[in-house]
Amino acid sequence: MHKRKIFITIFIIFCAVSLVSENFCFGGTDDDSWKASPELVAKLTRRRSETNYDEQKVPEYTLPDPLIMSDGSRVKNAQDWTSKRRPEVLELFKTHVYGRAPIGRPKDMSFKVFDSDKQALGGLAIRKQVAVSFTGEQDGPGMDILIYLPNDRKKPIPTFVILNFGGNHTINADPAIKLPDSWVRPGTGIVDNKANEQSRGKASSRFPVEEILKRGYGLATIYYGDIDPDFHDGFKNGVHPAFDKLSEEKRPPDAWGSIGAWAWGLSRAMDCFETDADIDNKRVIVLGHSRLGKTALWAGARDERFAIVISNNSGCGGAALSRRRLGETVKRINTSFPHWFCENFKKYNDKEDELPLDQHMLIALIAPRPVYVTSADEDLWADPKGEFLSCKNADPVYKLLDRKGLGADRMPGLDKPVKSGTIGYHVRTGRHNL
């Protein structure tokens, strides 16, 4: 009798503890995975009733298997992936999503270093500015690359490359940074789409240059509007007309859109780094935020010279799975930004299940190189869980190539980055920002 009482008491204590601690026993769960705040879901749904923000309403879907060839055969080893399936997946993205850009380094492209200062940023940095002409013509399309390297290190230096939204002069207050000549987005103080002094240093919170340099890395940045202004003008401005091969004045349905052009521009920056002995061109990390996060992923997928790829809040057409249709959808993005992708992508408006790919295969194209995908808690438009699931579903390709892949089976908790594998993932507190 006495023993029974003790047993029952222990059992009651055990159950009570289990109830309060979700991590404790079989009845509970150790799942601290991030979930969107119900209040935020409700608020965003009220704001945009046509958009689904609710995990419960994600439709059922089946993802294409990255390791099954279009003819149905299975990719058995690394050799199959590298020589057959990877080129096939790359083709699928060119044909259906980003379009086809010119291949390789343009034969007449030229670089001119127009600024070089070994005592920039109070002596911390070497600053260089390089004018790139894509066609070698003085007034043809081109871009300016701004480069900061730590000046107290052994060379060559591993370097981050990132496109910026407002002009190179916005990333730091350094008065020597050249203003862009090209079109800039409308904004406070901007008249006639021309950059001016008012925006110098305005985006510096996104570009901790000094911190990056002190950690031994370089930073290179390019204004994305130099490559292609971000508005739809039928591809008459920017780099497109210089390379488009029109048939009867028409662009083919797989012609490159703006994301394709921006990614192509990053590869041209890589061509430039290959001629610069100060930059370690085997350790160039491509990074981007939002539409430029989509761009960083596509740049890293198509150009294997990028050693690491980082996408921040890239969402639809970036790291997020299209088939989930949570937050921004294929139709929404193609309607708001008709110039970002190729014409063929519009065929999948409301028909995501017909895509012969999904965005996990974009991440797989980066394998075996490291990739880091980051989401923000409040940025449901970019579908944090969909970004995580792309990483998870790219994992088998990394494993096939003998890499650790993603070091997690399920969505991590908020502010608990998964960083033990070759695919990293992080959902942080905060909004859509870098």
Residues that bind ligand GCU (CB under 6 A): 290-291, 315-316, 328, 333, 336, 381
Q: Please give the C-alpha separations between residue 51 and each of 2, 39, 122, in angstroms, as whole numbers.
A: 62, 16, 49
- Residue 360 designated active-site: no
Q: How far is the CB of 428 from ligand GCU (least distance, A)?
A: 16
Q: How far is the CB of 224 from ligand GCU (least distance, A)?
A: 10
Cα gap 86→126, rounded to integer Å: 39
Give Cα 29 distance to the centre of its chain: 33
Q: Which is nearer to ligand GCU, 49 or 62 (CB)?
A: 49
Where are any strands of DSSP class E within 84-201? 110-120, 125-133, 142-150, 157-164
Tokens of 76: 């058995």
Q: How far is the CB of 31 from ligand GCU (least distance, A)?
A: 29
- Residue 339 designated active-site: no
Dihedral sign from CA coordinates of 380, 382, 383, 384: negative
β partners of residue 374: 312, 426
Q: Please give the C-alpha separations between residue 377 and each of 320, 385, 429, 430, in angstroms, as whole numbers.
A: 14, 10, 5, 6
Q: Which is nearer to ligand GCU, 333 or 371 (CB)?
A: 333
What is the rounded radius of gyration, in angstroms, for the C-alpha atoms of the chain? 24
Which element (helix H / strand E) includes 328? none
Which residues, 6 or more positions from 360, have their beta carbon under 8 angstroms from its beta carbon? 63, 66, 321, 389, 390, 391, 392, 393, 394
Q: How far is the CB of 57 from ligand GCU (least distance, A)?
A: 20
Report the relative pairing of strands 371-376 and 308-312 from DSSP bridges: parallel
Q: Which is nearer to ligand GCU, 84 or 331 (CB)?
A: 331
Q: How far is the CB of 413 from ligand GCU (least distance, A)?
A: 24
Q: Which is nearer to ligand GCU, 172 or 290 (CB)?
A: 290
Q: How far is the CB of 345 from ligand GCU (least distance, A)?
A: 13
Query: Could you tell me which of 342, 394, 353, 112 has the C-alpha nearest to residue 235?
Result: 342
Q: Which is nearer to ligand GCU, 164 or 281 (CB)?
A: 164
Adjacency order of strands within the sheet including 110-120:
110-120, 125-133, 142-150, 218-223, 157-164, 279-289, 308-312, 371-376, 423-428
Q: Which is nearer to ligand GCU, 85 or 294 (CB)?
A: 294
β partners of residue 132: 111, 143
Neighbours of 350 (CB within 10 A): 10
Which element (helix H / strand E) includes 420? none
Cα gap 47→44, rounded to integer Å: 5
Q: Which is nearer to ligand GCU, 168 or 290 (CB)?
A: 290
Q: How far is the CB of 315 from ligand GCU (least distance, A)?
A: 5
- One of 199, 258, 290, 322 is an active-site residue; which one? 290
Tell me which residues are annotated as active site.
290, 432
